[in-house]
Structure 1
């Protein structure tokens, strides 16, 4: 029984970071109705920034977050203004091609600049752990999990209880009505996209001491995020969080019992099984994908 609890804890700790990546993706979709295929490359960029700040300036990853997260926020503002805004009224296929092209461009740019070598951030506390009865808990994974959940809860509270959050929710529900009551919809879109990029930047900082980074890291992790977003219900923050945690637990058990190469196979089987029973996901709404902070 102890091994099952240990595996569940390990899965939840990783799943918390998956949830944070997924929340940024589902937030952008819920408000802008844009699927950002470059989300994974922003994760890669943030992990590379964390790596170079650690090795060149000696900044601890958590300290580096004070630089990395604002950089990703500004990058999100620039991307929305130069690329996304120009496609909002275009057919969805145009938005797909634009973000997918951006993804390929960034991935190949990273390959030219950094080669395909893996780079790691090795901190002194990376292997520190403590015991609770028969269970060993990594301090780093616990802190990363707690930070991920805290950021997700903070986002939900911001959306539900602040004026700007109300404006974001109103824009997500009906952009034309939002304009009629005086909401600057363009500003809301820019802010939302920037928040999504900042969240993935925060996730990258938390991942950097745990996983090596190369130009394809984001492409691997974004697959998990897409599964979590669809499984949780397109546009649902609570759904993306729950699905991210579930995928983390599934990966932990399948890696232990079946081998690491089987983890994607297993969570895709679970993914298809759940969607066959509930096609809209955990908290999705049939016929309309809207942002939901519940």
Structure 2
């Protein structure tokens, strides 16, 4: 792929294209992963610098990105970033943001909105559903007019009106649902799933709760090759050898740590490439087990 913001590779017959919307130092490490002290970051410095940690400022480096999968003749978009013009008073970085343009980035990668068959939201957070919709004459309408949007039912309940928009804890949760999820329901394009959902012979969604009630991973398997897109199960490579370390965004830390360990152990045992939503750099990791512990093996080019 010629575009610097888009790189492609194959898992068997499935093509995966990574489209990077934004990448930069984000949060101070102790705020980002409260249980991971300075000694943890230093111990893994060779893996983390420069793509995942900026030691000079002690900030974790993250990316906002979308994955496009072409499988069985269909085009699948996984997570849709932040979006533009959103009211996000609880997050100054995303509040009324105008710097992103995912549709243009997708077009440069050869994907038009009308070409997309499925949109997968791994969970209902603002940086994963933002481009579900766009502003059309003052109304939010689906960005991908022919797509079915696959939404975790547990997240839809929690963040939607039935859950009082996340229990009313964060005003942003109501705003995110109203501008990025409710219009997809209104258009009749939403499909809610729970537990496990098989998209086709190569792609399967699987619940991995904790970060949110419905957080999901997407397993890819074709011709004996495997990968797993883990969404926000991981926010940093530090969490591979330390799956007990949660991010400050995990709503249920105990369940998040359990899901993280389960998915990473399976990846190590089955040779699945691990593809988190926010890892910068290569963005694709190999994980092994050594003496009963999980270890980072290498980045996949």
TM-score (norm 1): 0.24
- The structure whose residues are more often strand, as a share, is 2
- The structure whose residues are more often helix, as a share, is 1
TM-score (norm 2): 0.23
